[in-house]
Amino acid sequence: MAAACNSKYFRPVGRSKLKKWAELDTFERTFQAGPELRKGNWAKDVFKNTNPITAELGCGRGEYTVALARLYPERNFVGVDVKGARIWKGAKASNTEKIVNTAFVRAQIDHINDWFEQSELEEIWITFPDPQPQDNRARKRLTHPVFLERYRQFLKPHGLVHLKTDNTALFEFTMRVLDELKLPIIQQTHDLYQSPLYEGILQVKTRYEEIFTDKGENIKYVCFQLI
């Protein structure tokens, strides 16, 4: 059950979302504060097994987190997003369907290292993040070197990072970062739907992906290693 909210991690909000936030507190494996209680203890205290753990950062409604958990019951998945009213949908589905290899965290990605211990995760998914198009907000992009260094602190050696986006500028920015840091690229495509990679989990569509594809946007994807 989730702990009470901590003002260190959240900004004040209106009352319209309080009902869903309150319901989050009743869901199993859904947390809104208290990272110090989870850090290093996800396997033992949350999932109660030693299966590999993957996190979806900026998970929104948790479509990928839930889909991954259904496809890979032998692995564990944690969806992270600052918007409680968004993760409510994925957390609700997981609890209703008793998908025990999922968990959800309401937290800012800036504080992600408060939640995971060194080498605690094996993979990260970043699905349709805010591209932060302004030049002065480049450091807020979830594939900026600042964030990659944070991920490196809790990913296992050679851990994988997956990015799926409609935004060409963000994708090209990410590819430049990977080149500059000499990080190995496992797979990539500028047009996922016309690519042989379009199968399995990559066929899962988030709400935002459906909006973008309806507008004719190409979906870009890259999988790379942090070494």
Strands (E), 128-198: 155-165, 185-189
How many other C-beta atoms can be found within 10 angstroms of the C-beta atom of residue 200? 9
Q: How big is the chain, counted in residues? A: 227
Q: Which two tokens stand for residue 161?
A: 């990072």
Strands (E), 67-182: 76-81, 102-106, 121-127, 155-165
Q: Three-state DSSP class for 199?
A: coil
Q: Which residues of 142-169 are buried (b: 16+ CB within 10 A; e: fewer)?
A: bbbeebbebbeebbeeebbbbbbbbbee
Residue 66 and residue 68: Cα distance in Å, rounded?
5
What spatial distance separates the first Cα and last Cα of the chain, rounded to whole Å? 35
45, 110, 130, 179: the active-site residue? 130
Q: Three-state DSSP class for 187?
A: strand
Which candidate, 155, 78, 76, places its Cα nearest to that of 122? 155
Structural contact between residues 213 and 205, judged by C-beta atoms closer than 8 angstroms: yes
Question: Has 130 been annotated as catalytic?
Answer: yes
Residues acting as catalytic residues: 130
